Amino acid sequence: MLKSYSCFLLLFTSLLPLCAQSQRAGTIRFNANSNLSIFEGKACIHDAHHQLDGVFEKLYDLTQTKEDTSQLIIMHIGDSHMQGGMLSGRIRNHFHHHFGNAGRGLIVPYRLSRSNEPRDYCIKSNVKWQKSRCIEKSNSLPIGVGGISVATDESKADLHISVLGDEIQDYSFNKIRVFGKKNALTPNADANIWAYADADSSVFVLNEPTTNIDLFRQNSADYVTPTLFGGVSLENSHKGVLYHAIGANGAHYQDYVKHSEFFSQAALLQPDLIIVSLGTNEAFGGRFNKSGFVSQMDAMVTELKSHNPNAVIMLTTPAEVYIKKKARRKRMVSAPNRNCDLVADAIVEYASAHHLPVWDMNRITGGEGSAKTWLSHDFLRPDRIHFTEAGYAIQGDLFFKSFISNYNSYVESRH
């Protein structure tokens, strides 16, 4: 009897690792390439009300072997930290590596508006375009999904769009959504496509994947002048994550809030998760006005909820950076911008009160005085407001490590 019991115990204990392993199925092991140990804050997302559980369940489904074309769609809205593409590119690559690549996502004609553009795509034209940006006090053009718009009256205007993948990520696409008036810009008729459209965008599905495409201005009486263009979403039919990054240099919450077309067009992307990373610019300009800031943040969240009732909205806090101040003899000196910490406190407080998940990068990276840490490791550019490529890599890795920490906890608890 004792021998039988011992055999049973041996069999039972030998199965424990297999049971533990099966419970961990679907979790993600993330190893960052950057040195995250310089920041001691716990990398996680505050989500006491489990708003992200639905997002995590969709991601979990993507890790299973089912052959389908299911996708999780993320829309990440920000300022100049997002426009440059280094932070968003890092986050996008992590999602695609671990959950599948459903396409490059939204690209915006920043260069046509005479601004900086991410390095992994190019939008060129044979003519000069008028421009309008969301941060301007008055806009000559309606502002759509990208936070900027360009327009032209030139009858022979065309756009050449190309995307630059690499040996790791293939960003070829077989479906595009062009943001602008219905069918005002279309591919060449010989492109073997089928299409459908709504008032603010046109969708074209190609027979073959490609990494570049030309769009031509339509000149019939049915199309208004000038022709507007706000961006294009590059997608494929693969299972995975479709990550759309939207950034505008100098943007505040209020700069998006004042443009209704931004919210209506952004909703056409049908996001499951909306991440809002704003607040750095509100930390400049003198004394921080908490009530005014919270009012603008609430207005944006309200609009996003109204246009995307099924999406989860997550807020993030800005890292502490530097600000120039007058010292003795009217000399300008650079000092850590304490308003960044006040902005972060306001965002966390608002998120908690409204049951929104929040990623508190400010506290994770050290909070008050942390700008000195960024600077001492050469992670800040000479303006001490924007980060180097290595600095944005650290931020992207910290975000994904936090996200995966919450995701893994969800997966482990679902069994």
Residue written as tokens 């019939």?
A: 220
Give residue 79's pLDDT: 97
Query: Which residues on neighbouring strands pair with residue 322, listed in sequence order?
Result: 336
Cα distance between residue 277 and residue 28, in whole Å: 24
* Fold of the CATH domain 103-237: Jelly Rolls (2.60.120)
The model's pTM: 0.91
Q: Residue 242 — φ and ψ, nearest 5°? A: -110, 110
**pLDDT tens by residue, 235-244:** 998 999 999 9
Architecture of domain 32-102+240-415: 3-Layer(aba) Sandwich (3.40)
Q: Residue 322 — φ and ψ, nearest 5°? A: -105, 160
CB 392 within 8 A of CB 247: no
Give residue 198's pLDDT: 82
User: Does the bond joining 226 to the residue before it have cis omega, within 30 degrees of 0?
Assistant: yes
CB 280 within 8 A of CB 251: no
**pLDDT tens by residue, 120-137:** 999 999 999 999 999 999
Q: In this structure, are strands 358-359 and 158-163 parallel, antiparallel, or unpaired?
A: unpaired
CB 142 within 8 A of CB 111: no
Domain parsing of the chain, residue ranges: 32-102+240-415, 103-237
Q: Which residues of the chain have pLDDT under 50?
A: 1-23
Residue written as tokens 């006090």?
A: 137
Instruction: Report DSSP state, residue 36.
Output: G
**pLDDT tens by residue, 323-355:** 987 766 667 788 899 999 999 999 999 999 999
Give residue 19's pLDDT: 35
State how far the alpha carbon of 178 is from the alpha carbons of 107, 193, 203, 268, in Å: 10, 14, 6, 11
Q: What is the CA radius of gyration of the chain?
A: 23
Q: In this structure, are strands 212-217 and 201-210 parallel, antiparallel, or unpaired?
A: unpaired
Cα distance between residue 101 and residue 106, in whole Å: 14
DSSP line for 162-224:
EE---SS----EEEEEEESSTTSEEE-GGG-EEEEE-SSEEEEEEEEEESEEEEEE--STTS-
Exposed / middle / buried, residue 374 (Cβ in 10 Å: 0-12, 13-18, 19+):
buried
Exposed / middle / buried, residue 377 (Cβ in 10 Å: 0-12, 13-18, 19+):
middle
User: What percent helix, strand, coil does the chain show, rounded to 5?
Assistant: 35, 25, 40
Give residue 215's pLDDT: 93
Give residue 255's pLDDT: 97
Residue 143 neighbours by CB under 8 Å, 6+ apart:
132, 133, 134, 149, 230, 259, 261, 262
Cα distance between residue 48 and residue 52, in whole Å: 10
DSSP line for 314-376:
EEEPPPP-EEEEE-GGG-EEEEE-THHHHHHHHHHHHHHHTT--EE-HHHHTTSTTHHHHHHH
Q: 141 is written with which tokens?
A: 């053009």
Q: 342 is written with which tokens?
A: 């006040």
CB 59 within 8 A of CB 98: no
